[in-house]
C-alpha cells in the first residue's frame, strides 16, 4: 500500500474547543514522518484517534489500508504505539514488563522468549533487562518504551514526543534507534515539537497548527512553500569593498550587507548558490572562513508556515 495513514476531514471537539479541525493527513509507507506543531496544536489528540483511544466526531480514518475503529483489534495489533512520557511500573524488571505486554498481544511463550532478548539488544538494554525499571534513566525508559512498541512486530509505529525530557545524549540514542527501526522496514509516525531532532531523522514532515494541516510533504517540498528570501551568511577574512562589489555582481543577489567579518548575502533563488558566492568572495580577495544558509532550516520553515497561517487568520 502507498499510504499507511490517511485521514479526511478528521474532526475532534472537546466542548467548544476544536482540537482537530477537518484534518487531511497522508503518511507514506517506508518513511519516517514527522508530525510537527506547537503545544495545543492537536498532535496528541490525532495520535490517540489513530490508535483507537479516542473516537473522532467527524471525518474518516484509514490505517494500514482499513478504516480504524473500536471493533478492529486486528488492525490495531499491527500498530506499535508509545505515548508521551510513558509511565512504566518501577517495581518490574524490563524483561517482565515486555513479557506482560507480549501476553496481552497474544504472543506464545516461545515467541516472547525469542522476541524480547532481540528487542532489548536492539534498544541497547541487553545487559539491563533484569534490572528494575525504577533504576533506569529517562533515556533507558524511553528505549524500553520503544521496545514495547516493537514487540508485536508492527508495520507502523506511532511515537508521541519520544525525545521529551531527555538530555542530549538520550536524544541521540532515541534518534539512532528510530533510524534502526526504519532499516527494519517499519514506518514511523513521529509527533514532536523538537524541530532540530525531527530535522535529523525524518524523511517527510506534516506541520499542524490549531488542528489544521498547514503543510505536508518532504522537507524540500514544504520549504518551497515559504517564499521568503534566503540569506547566505559568510564569515570572511580580509572583507573589503572589493569583495562586496564582486558579490553584488552575481545575478541572483538582491542585497549585500556587512556585520563585522560577516557578509550577509540575500538571494532571490532557492537553489544552493553558496559555491558561486564563495568564488566571488575569493575573486575579490577575501578568504571564506565559514558559510551557512539561513532560511532553509526546519525551524525557519516551521516559523514561516505558522506566520503565513496567522496572516491568513488576520485577513479573515
Split at pLDDT 50, 70, 90, the class of 67 is confident
Taking residues 235-259, what's their average pLDDT?
A: 92
pLDDT of residue 243: 92
Q: How far apart are CA 119 and CA 101, in angstroms?
A: 13
Split at pLDDT 50, 70, 90, the class of 37 is confident
Q: In this structure, how many other beta carbons lie within 10 angstroms of the beta carbon of residue 10?
A: 25
Q: How far apart are CA 62 and CA 249, in angstroms?
A: 54
pLDDT of residue 139: 82
pLDDT at 57 over 60: yes
Split at pLDDT 50, 70, 90, the class of 271 is confident
Q: How far apart are CA 191 and CA 209, in angstroms?
A: 13
Identify which has the larger pLDDT, 209 or 295.
209
pLDDT of residue 315: 42
Residue with cell 542530549: 168
Task: Note whether 56 and 49 are within 8 A (CB).
Answer: yes
pLDDT (tens digit per residue) in 167-190: 777 778 888 888 888 888 899 999
pLDDT at 120 over 90: yes
Task: Note whether 69 and 51 are within 8 A (CB).
Answer: no
pLDDT at 248 over 90: yes
Q: Which of 12-16, 216-220, 286-290, 292-296 has the lowest mean pLDDT?
A: 292-296
Which letter, b or e, does each residue of 217-249 get, where b requires 16 or more Cβ atoms within 10 Å of its Cβ? bebeebbeebeeebbbebbbeebeeebbebbee
pLDDT at 290 over 50: yes
pLDDT at 301 over 80: no
Split at pLDDT 50, 70, 90, the class of 300 is low
pLDDT of residue 222: 73
pLDDT of residue 313: 56
Which letter, b or e, does each residue of 115-148 get, where b requires 16 or more Cβ atoms within 10 Å of its Cβ? bbeebbebbbbeebbeeebeebeebbbbbbbbbb
Of 118, 74, 127, nearest in space to 98 by CA: 118
Max mean pLDDT among 11-25, 156-170, 207-221 falls in: 11-25
CA distances from 33 to 176, 208, 314 (A): 15, 13, 30
pLDDT at 28 over 60: yes
Q: How far apart are CA 122 and CA 124, in angstroms?
A: 6
For the record, the C-alpha cell of 101 comes out as: 505486554
Amino acid at each position: 500500500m502507498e499510504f499507511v495513514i490517511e485521514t479526511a476531514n478528521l474532526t475532534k471537539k472537546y466542548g467548544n474547543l476544536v482540537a482537530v479541525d477537518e484534518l487531511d493527513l497522508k503518511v507514506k509507507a517506508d518513511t519516517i514522518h514527522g508530525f510537527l506543531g506547537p503545544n495545543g496544536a492537536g498532535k496528541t489528540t490525532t495520535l490517540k484517534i489513530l490508535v483507537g483511544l479516542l473516537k473522532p466526531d467527524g471525518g474518516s480514518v484509514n490505517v494500514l489500508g482499513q478504516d480504524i475503529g473500536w471493533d478492529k483489534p486486528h488492525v490495531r495489533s499491527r500498530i506499535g504505539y508509545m505515548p508521551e512520557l510513558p509511565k512504566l511500573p518501577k517495581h518490574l524488571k524490563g524483561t517482565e514488563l515486555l513479557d506482560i505486554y507480549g501476553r496481552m498481544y497474544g504472543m506464545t511463550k516461545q515467541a516472547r522468549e525469542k522476541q524480547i532478548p532481540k528487542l532489548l539488544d536492539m534498544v541497547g538494554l541487553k545487559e539491563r533487562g533484569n534490572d528494575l525499571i525504577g533504576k533506569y534513566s529517562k533515556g533507558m525508559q524511553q528505549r524500553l518504551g520503544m521496545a514495547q512498541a516493537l514487540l508485536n512486530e508492527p508495520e507502523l509505529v506511532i511515537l508521541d514526543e519520544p525525545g521529551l525530557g531527555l538530555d542530549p545524549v538520550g536524544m541521540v540514542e532515541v534518534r539512532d534507534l528510530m533510524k534502526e527501526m526504519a532499516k527494519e522496514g517499519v514506518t514511523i509516525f513521529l509527533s514532536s515539537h523538537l524541530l532540530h531532532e525531527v530535522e535529523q531523522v525524518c524523511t517527510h514532515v506534516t506541520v499542524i497548527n490549531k488542528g489544521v494541516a498547514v503543510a505536508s510533504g518532504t522537507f524540500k517540498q514544504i520549504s518551497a512553500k515559504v517564499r521568503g528570501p534566503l540569506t547566505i551568511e559568510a564569515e570572511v577574512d580580509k572583507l573589503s569593498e572589493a569583495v562586496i562589489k564582486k558579490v553584488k555582481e552575481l545575478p541572483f543577489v538582491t542585497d549585500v550587507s556587512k556585520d563585522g567579518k560577516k557578509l550577509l548575502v540575500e538571494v532571490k533563488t532557492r537553489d544552493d548558490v553558496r559555491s558561486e558566492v564563495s568564488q566571488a568572495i575569493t575573486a575579490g580577495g577575501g578568504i571564506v572562513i565559514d558559510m551557512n544558509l539561513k532560511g532553509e532550516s526546519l525551524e525557519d520553515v516551521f516559523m514561516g508556515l505558522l506566520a503565513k497561517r496567522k496572516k491568513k487568520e488576520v485577513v479573515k
